Amino acid sequence: MFGTGIGYTITASASAAAILKSNCFHWHGHETDCTQNTSAYIVAFGVVQVIFSQLPNFHELWWLSVIAAVMSFSYATIAVGLALGQTIAGKTTMYGTQVGVDVADTTQKIWLTFQALGNIAFAYSYTIILIEIQDTLRSPPAENKTMRTASILGVATTTSFYMMCGCLGYSAFGNAAPGNILTGFYEPYWLVDFANVCIVLHLVGGFQVFLQPLFAAVEAAVASRWPCSTPVEGAVAARWWPEGSSARRRLNVFRLVWRTSYVAVITLLAILMPFFNSILGILGSIAFWPLTVFFPVEMYIRQRQIPRFSTKGAALQGLSFVCFLVTVAACAASVQGVLDSLKTYVPFKTRS
């Protein structure tokens, strides 16, 4: 969850910078130097998250989740449309990276291939909060039935969009395909701007969805450890809304300090390591095997009491092992990508 916060911050800042970049190209021409310093956008995103982080719990984020979902559909549809249009224009080539042309040697190409697996694995990051989402569902119907339907529809929809964005994105840009597909389009500038705004709004909500369960866990542990500590509930109290309002809240001093500090650390690390593809590769690989494969496979085997050495049990264990190898390879390649980037990196001066 901590890593996802860093990834979302980097992504949001890149999209925010892309808005000004596309406007600059539109009004001043593509020969103009329109590169943007992303550090300022990372800080701005962090400030917004500090404010939203003061929402008491996961249950009060439903409206933010709805906005995030609508934004996600919007920018994904726009990205697919723009990529399809550029593909039809036929201005790119698709032959894969060539040793000696696009990359220095075969080793670098292998590293990039494994790093790409980590980027794909990041698509499964929703598994981090799957149980927390199910915990917020009302019954009847039973939570597991609702969650099964939601998972099938959700995975089918996102897989379709991811495949279209990935395939059409590569067919549109070839080897020059950017990590964030929308940062590669500049016209029509108003549509590209709208899509990037959608990304930023989506990530504002998504950031909170991933962090609120962690906030709740830490605060529950603190309350359990020091049950009589009044400062946790705010002996120093303040009214955010008028007396009698249904939206009235008491200022929680511990929550304010802890959550603000947490977001500040995420923001600082995002500034220090703004390497889009490599960071997403690390995050995707770390979360992929343990939470997306191993955990549900082991739960299924034990729940159904499947013998370990039966055909079905061996197949499930084999799947888990292969995915483990993917995780190790993707993580190693992504770390290598970060180390390479650090050789030429100047802190607080990252431009895109």
Domain-located, residue 280: no
Determine the average pLDDT of the residues in 324-342: 83
pLDDT score at 238: 41
Domain-located, residue 214: yes
Q: 123-152: per-residue pLDDT in tens?
A: 777 777 777 777 777 777 887 788 888 888
pTM for the model stands at 0.75
Nearest Cα to Cα of residue 337 among 287, 281, 263, 258: 281
Domain-located, residue 23: yes
Distance CA 85, CA 74 (A): 17
DSSP 142: P
DSSP 41-67: HHHHHHHHHHHHTTS--GGGGHHHHHH
Q: 106-119: per-residue pLDDT in tens?
A: 777 787 788 788 77
Task: Provide the 3-class DSSP secondary structure of residue 239.
Answer: strand
Question: Structure tokens of 82?
Answer: 């723009």
Cβ-contact 1, 128 below 8 angstroms: yes
Q: 155-190: per-residue pLDDT in tens?
A: 888 888 888 888 888 888 877 787 778 878 877 888
pLDDT score at 67: 82
pLDDT score at 348: 60
Domain-located, residue 203: yes
Domain-located, residue 296: no
Q: 196-209: per-residue pLDDT in tens?
A: 888 888 888 888 88
pLDDT score at 143: 78
Domain-located, residue 182: yes
Task: Provide the 3-class DSSP secondary structure of residue 246.
Answer: coil
Give the other-Cβ count within 10 Å of 313's Cβ. 16
pLDDT score at 248: 42
Give the other-Cβ count within 10 Å of 297's Cβ. 18
DSSP 291: I
Percent of the chain with pLDDT over 70: 84
Domain-located, residue 114: no
Nearest Cα to Cα of residue 11 among 38, 34, 37, 51: 38
Percent of the chain with pLDDT over 90: 6
Cβ-contact 326, 289 below 8 angstroms: yes
HSE (CB half, 13 Å, CA atoms) of 288?
26
Cβ burial of 153 (10 Å; 0-12, 13-18, 19+) is exposed
What is the residue range of 75's domain?
1-98+129-274
Mean residue pLDDT across the chain:
79
Q: How many domains does the chain have?
A: 1
Cβ-contact 283, 125 below 8 angstroms: yes
Domain-located, residue 344: no
